[in-house]
A and B are shown apart, each in its own frame.
Chain A
Amino acid sequence: MTQETVTLTIDGKSVTVPKGTNVLEAARTLGLDISAFCYHPGLSIVAQCRQCLVSIEKNPKLQPSCQQVVADGMVVHTTDAHSTLARAQQLEFTLLNHPIDCPICDKAGECTLQKLYFDHDNRDSRVDVPKVRKDKVVDVGPHIVLDQERCILCSRCIRTCDEVAGQHQLEFAFRSDHETLTTAPGEALDNPYSLNTVDVCPVGALTAKDFRFTMRAWELEATPSVCNGCATGCNVEIHHKHGRAWRLVPRHNPDVNKYWMCDEGRFTYHDLREHRIAAPLVEGLPSSWDRAIASAVLRIGSYLKEPQHVAVVLSALCSNEDNFALAKLAKEWKVGHVYFAGKPSVPQRADGKLRVADVNPNLTGIKAIADGLKLGAMPLPPLLPPTMKAAIVLGDVLAVDTHKLKEVELISFAAHERGPVPHAKVVFPIADWAELAGTITNLAGRVQRMHAAFAPPGQAIPGWEAIVRLAHATGVRLPWTHAREVFKDMIATVPAWKDLQWAREARPLQLRFAGSRG
């Protein structure tokens, strides 16, 4: 089926777009930047800010280009004196009551208002009347603070609550220059998708309590990755600086999360700094890599001769590559038991939108890998079989009573010291999700790429690399020197993944020069 198209002329250039497109989107395909505040490609159109007015021939009045649907033969002008003046004047009105907050505003540097003023107006103020004062620090919800003075009344946040979260929690009150954004009667801005309003806010009216006054936006660097909060696998950008993440923001992916992500997912970056292991541990004491490897081999070496006494536990919280490396090692060792473990599911979390019950980012992935290697992996039972003498565990979540593990020779590959890790005889520190190049598989079976935003702490290394070191010490050759090579061997094993490509490493993007994010 071919899509119906429409051809129109914008600023003398002919452009063909699908039927039903609006003029603003059509202009953007030509690289023309029509200024706009209230328009957001993921939200309904209200033509509220009047910032995108353009002239259309045979139409006596200026039209908002976001609302105007294209028609065949339409002739649009965006740079004529009439519409340029109208947009500049509109911007002047918008700035009329805007507070002089840039130096203390968290949005400065990624503010649409700043960008549009600098690109499209850049003239001095012509008024000398006092600005209308409104409330500055309004606690509208558990995660968000509202500054009513900064608000330019574009209603993006109202529509985000209505359309993304499905809850009408924000509303405008009063009229004219006293119009303010406020919570709807009896409501608080507490829906599980509330922080998307902060992303869509073109100015600094809505700011996240989590990010407020922590880091200036232009100093951050952005690395694309995937949220590890649940099995949805929302595409995110890690905004980081000085080797630590400062916030997660959603990255557009029409097939997974569109423009959005949930609040819970945004806070997962805090965990990157919790209880991190920076050096290998032997009997709970820091050690060198060589000594830790030697110690691990000494402990499990005799059991590997009778591999039915050895168990290997894969982790639904680790990347495909880490799990594949361990699964491959388990196969080479011919161990008796291969299990997989992860967090228990949270049924009340599922809402039919982005949040799902499975809070493990990679359960689908490890099942596919275990099937591909024909390991017959099972979920970890509450009690290990009594014949078990040694266990190699990936990750720090087992969701079973871990005290039993004290009795076996437990070797742990983990990023955080918790769960089974304190009981392990030898612990190898591995990189957490924001620190590694790798892939994870979401609930729908989509394999998505994560990029390393910064280096793991101390002597931690990517999980697959740690597993390769242990394998070599036990006489198993795993010929990998890069995550890409693990990936290549992995997709050859799993039939559904055979056409996948390893994406090039993404270099961190300096937000200072990325233009407005608004």
Chain B
Amino acid sequence: MATEATLKQLVLGRKDVQDLSDTEQELPPDLMTVNMGPSHPAMHGTVRIVLTVDGERIVKSDVQPGYLHRCFEKESEHATYTQVFPYTDRLNYVSPMINNVGWAMAIEKLMQIKPTPRCEYVRVIVSEMSRLTDHLTCVGASAMELGAFTAFLYFLKCREWLYELLEKVSGARLTHSYLRIGGVAKDLPDDFDADLTKCLDQIVPVIAEVEVMLNNNKIFRDRMAGVGAMTKAEALATGCVGPIARACGVDYDVRRDHPYSIYPEVEFDVPLGTHGDCYDRYLVRVEEMKQSIRILRQCLKQIPPGPVMVDDPRVSLPPKRDTYNTIESMIRHFKHIMDGIRVPPGEVYVFVEGGNGELGFYVVADGTGRPYKAYCRSPSFVHLSTASQLIHGHLIADIVPIFGMINMIGGECDK
């Protein structure tokens, strides 16, 4: 066992504390520059923050995205319109279905195609399931980073139920690529109605339980309430959308204010916050999950039977039976796959309510099978631009909840 003297030796090096001069005993008064990220366990996605700190307090920060080299927009110009779907999966990869829907809607608007009613319902169902997975991940991970590991495990368990269901629907757990221009890849599985109802019935009590764990938890509230607050005016000025803007009291939801698909046919409320701090963002997200569950239950009741793909030779692949037996279908199949869907020249901006807010696609078509230009208005990129301002004056430890609640997704930010 080490004696007191050797312990001192270990802690203070060769000197005893009484041997130190007065100046050496004080902490250095000048500012220090430290790196947070680009690879850091508490940073969501690969982003680097160069912090100038006065002790623990942040006086200046330089947020630097771009370490992921996603090249979504440029890659899209080299792929056919259908081949872009897998790229959109990897934008916000915890809610890939919503990205799929945005891209499909953009191209359908260019081609003036109206999907079938059943297809619209299927799209809304998978979108809202994706919104649930997004918020479950965001809230769960943020709670975990503040020490509440139980909430994280509970939510990830819920997310896994949803992923399993989405895997049943699309064939892939995470990167679904389930949508097609003019519809979806295949209809919902036979027992989907019962499966989803059961899944939602299981999720509801888990959300309630986690709310009990977190809402009035002293540690959680101390770390979240009043941290990283933003006013309504600031949110509007910086272009914030989605849960972050709504937490500040900006009453805007694309699903309600610019209704698309069959959102006008379902009832849901748009939750609003008052303080615009991390705690409000958390509350808004939890309430949105409940609203998503409400939308899902309505959709399951209302979904009509029918085809899930439009019958339009410009976009739909012929049935396999015809492909192998008639030259017309064979050529069409070949051309769709090899040359891509022929989209008439034009430009379009289509936006949907993504997990993090307004997700927009601006596409310029030149009449060929590939986009001439694809641009993505990704909410994560906009939200990240406020990060520097939000963490200003806070402690280094506060970066973690602030960043968790901004919910920057690298794949979406570095487009």
Contacts and interface: CB of A to CB of B under 8 A. Distances in A.
Interface of A: 95, 98-100, 102-103, 108-109, 113-114, 117-119, 121-125, 218, 512-513
Contact of A513 (B324, B330, B369): B369
Given A118-B342, A513-B370, A124 B326 contact: yes
A98 B328 CA distance: 9
Nearest to A119: B342
Contact of B331 (A118, A512, A513): A118
Interface in B327-343: 327-332, 334-335, 338-339, 342
Nearest to A510: B78
A118 B369 CA distance: 12
A91 to B, nearest CB: 9
Nearest to B313: A122
Task: Specify which of B313, B325, B339 lies most central, judged by the most chain A CB atoms within 10 Å of its CB.
Answer: B339
Given A125-B327, A513-B368, A102 B334 contact: yes
30 contacts: A95-B327, A95-B328, A99-B327, A100-B324, A100-B325, A100-B327, A102-B331, A108-B334, A108-B338, A113-B331, A114-B331, A114-B335, A117-B328, A117-B335, A118-B331, A118-B335, A118-B339, A119-B342, A121-B328, A122-B313, A123-B313, A123-B328, A124-B318, A124-B322, A124-B328, A125-B322, A125-B327, A125-B328, A218-B338, A513-B368
A122 B332 contact: yes
A353 B43 CA distance: 72
Nearest to B328: A125
A330 B330 CA distance: 62
Interface of B: 313-314, 318, 322, 324-332, 334-335, 338-339, 342, 368-370
Contact of A122 (B314, B327, B339): B314
A513 B340 CA distance: 9
B334 A98 contact: no
Contacts of B370: 513
Contacts of B326: 100, 124-125
Given A100-B325, A100-B327, A125-B327, A109 B332 contact: no
Task: Specify which of B322, B328, B368, B369 lies most central, judged by the most chain A CB atoms within 10 Å of its CB.
Answer: B328
A166 to B, nearest CB: 36
A102 B313 CA distance: 18
Task: Specify which of B313, B326, B327 lies most central, judged by the most chain A CB atoms within 10 Å of its CB.
Answer: B327
Given A103-B334, A118-B342, A218-B338, 10 more contacts: A98-B327, A100-B327, A102-B331, A103-B330, A108-B334, A114-B335, A122-B313, A123-B328, A124-B328, A512-B338
Contacts of A124: 313, 318, 322, 326, 328-329
A103 B330 CA distance: 9
A124 B318 CA distance: 9
A125 B331 contact: no
A250 to B, nearest CB: 24
Contact of A118 (B322, B324, B327, B332): B332
Contact of B338 (A99, A109, A117, A125): A109
A117 B342 CA distance: 13
Contacts of A98: 327
A177 to B, nearest CB: 15
A398 B53 CA distance: 76
B338 A100 contact: no
A96 to B, nearest CB: 9
Contacts of B368: 513
Given A100-B325, A109-B338, A124-B326, A117 B331 contact: yes
Nearest to B335: A118
